Structure 1
Amino acid sequence: MDPTTAIDLYCERSAPGLLAEPLNALSNLAFLIAAVALWRLARRERAGGPMPALLIALVAVIGVGSAAFHVFANRATLLADVIPIALFQFVFLGAYARDVMGWRRVAVMGLLGLFVAASALAESLPAHWLNGSLGYASAVAFVGWLGWEHWRARRPEPALLLAAAGLFLLSLALRTVDNAWCERWPVGTHWAWHLLNGGVLYLVVRGYVLGRRG
């Protein structure tokens, strides 16, 4: 496929062109708003060091990359969309295990290996299952597990990551039904996935920042 050829994956893209997915593009502002809110939180909590800054930067880059994909919809912007998401998941999981849970390096590496294996297994399943959302199933499961651990350890705002897991599950459901609802709801539901996931990323990084001092 020519890299300039539009990739049509969502209800809202019913024609070629830069403005074919206005809601899917503009809804990525949720990630930029989350990044600004997290930057202010990190300053208030005096969360220094490279890791909080890296996580906040990745939240912003996710928003920019996803917006670029929904405007241009080609192979290059598809990579700009998916790579920051994968990096964020990997970095956040390792950072939380190390800095909040206090795991040693070997244990953290084992956890990351398990996450990569689970994600690869999910990605190997047929792409049409759950409208391509199955690849995020491992991320939902791991956020749920971290939510239980955050609550069990009575860390600051103990229900924070459980709330993130619930919001993530709802956003994944909306992503899944996008194409199925095209006839009844032409703009689809993918934009809601963006809005809710901006909240998910805010909650999980907030849990990390507060958990480090807790």
Structure 2
Amino acid sequence: MDLTRQTIAYCERTDFGLWSEPVNAVTNAAFLIAALVMAWRLRGSGLGIGWALVGVLTAIGVGSFLWHTHATGWAGLADVLPILGFILLYVFAATRDFVGLRWPLALLAVVAVFPYAFVVAGALGALVPGIGANGAYASVALLILAYAVYLRARAPATARGLAIGAGVLAVSLGFRMLDGVVCDAVPVGTHFMWHILNGIMLGWMIEVYRRHMAR
């Protein structure tokens, strides 16, 4: 893999200039704003995982900014690895603190994310034309929803919060998938909405965790 090779992956980018995606680049502020809001919400809580999620959310904003300015292989890794880290850390926290399993089983759930995503994304790829790599993100929305369904009786408020998060992610994913479809009509594309809604969604997911632990 050539980590220095540049790629045009979104409507807004027309060349390999640093600021060829100004809207996509600037809207990564949504992640940083969400991180700041949740840092304020977590003040004095002592929730180690909550603070770790805030740190990873900050890294998501920085990594996505690098991806939409440099458009290189290494910047792509800086974009996707923090997202993966947030997913895995949240699965651990949800399994241990929402479901109530001990940490070894929570770690097992983290490991299980990989085969789960592979199978579900593959199935969605076969069922939904054009979903492509977005199937992996869709599998995350389904996983959040599965936790919500499981928790609906034992922790209804947390279940509702997770269901809201899954819904926002689904809408966000719709905008991500539309980006390549509307290029002719909307040159700026729709990927920037993925940033804005995901910033809201990830901040909300941390808030769901904070509220659950506060109970």
TM-score (norm 2): 0.89
Which of residues 85, 88, 105 is equivalent to 2:86? 88
Residue 20 in structure 1 maps to residue 13 in structure 2: no
Further displaced range: 128-137 or 192-201: 128-137
Residue 167 in structure 1 maps to residue 168 in structure 2: yes
Partner of 1:35: 35
Partner of 1:109: 107
Partner of 1:52: 50
User: What SS does the aligned partner of 1:20 have?
Assistant: coil
**Native 8 Å contact 2:176 2:191 kept in 1:** yes
- Number of residue pairs the alignment of both structures matches: 212
Deviation, structure 1 residue 147: 2.9
Partner of 1:204: 205
Q: Which amino acid aligns with 1:143?
A: I
Partner of 1:100: 98
Return the alpha-carbon distance in structure 1 between the equivalents of residues 161 and 110 of structure 2.
22
Deviation, structure 1 residue 141: 0.7
**Native 8 Å contact 1:62 1:81 kept in 2:** yes
**Native 8 Å contact 1:119 1:138 kept in 2:** yes
Residue 186 in structure 1 maps to residue 184 in structure 2: no
Return the alpha-carbon distance in structure 2 between the equivalents of residues 122 and 9 of structure 1.
24
Runs of 4+ in 1 over 4 A off after TM superposition: 122-126, 155-158
CA deviations 1:165-208 (Å, max 9, x no partner) are 11100000110111011111111111000000001101111111
Cα distance change, pair 139–158 in 1 and its aligned pair in 2 (3 A): closer
Partner of 1:134: 135
User: What SS does the aligned partner of 1:179 have?
Assistant: coil
User: What SS does the aligned partner of 1:16 have?
Assistant: coil
**Native 8 Å contact 1:177 1:189 kept in 2:** yes
Deviation, structure 1 residue 149: 4.1
Deviation, structure 1 residue 13: 0.6
Flag structure 1 segments of 5+ consecutive residues without an equivalent: none
Further displaced range: 103-112 or 171-180: 103-112
TM-score (norm 1): 0.90
**Native 8 Å contact 1:35 1:59 kept in 2:** yes
Identity %: 31
Deviation, structure 1 residue 124: 5.8
Deviation, structure 1 residue 122: 4.9
CA deviations 1:131-184 (Å, max 9, x no partner) are 531121221111112233454334556522211111100000110111011111
Return the alpha-carbon distance in structure 1 between the equivalents of residues 159 and 101 of structure 2.
19
User: What SS does the aligned partner of 1:17 have?
Assistant: coil
Q: Which amino acid aligns with 1:196?
A: L
Cα distance change, pair 213–150 in 1 and its aligned pair in 2 (3 A): farther
**Native 8 Å contact 1:61 1:84 kept in 2:** yes
After superposition, the CA RMSD in angstroms is 2.2
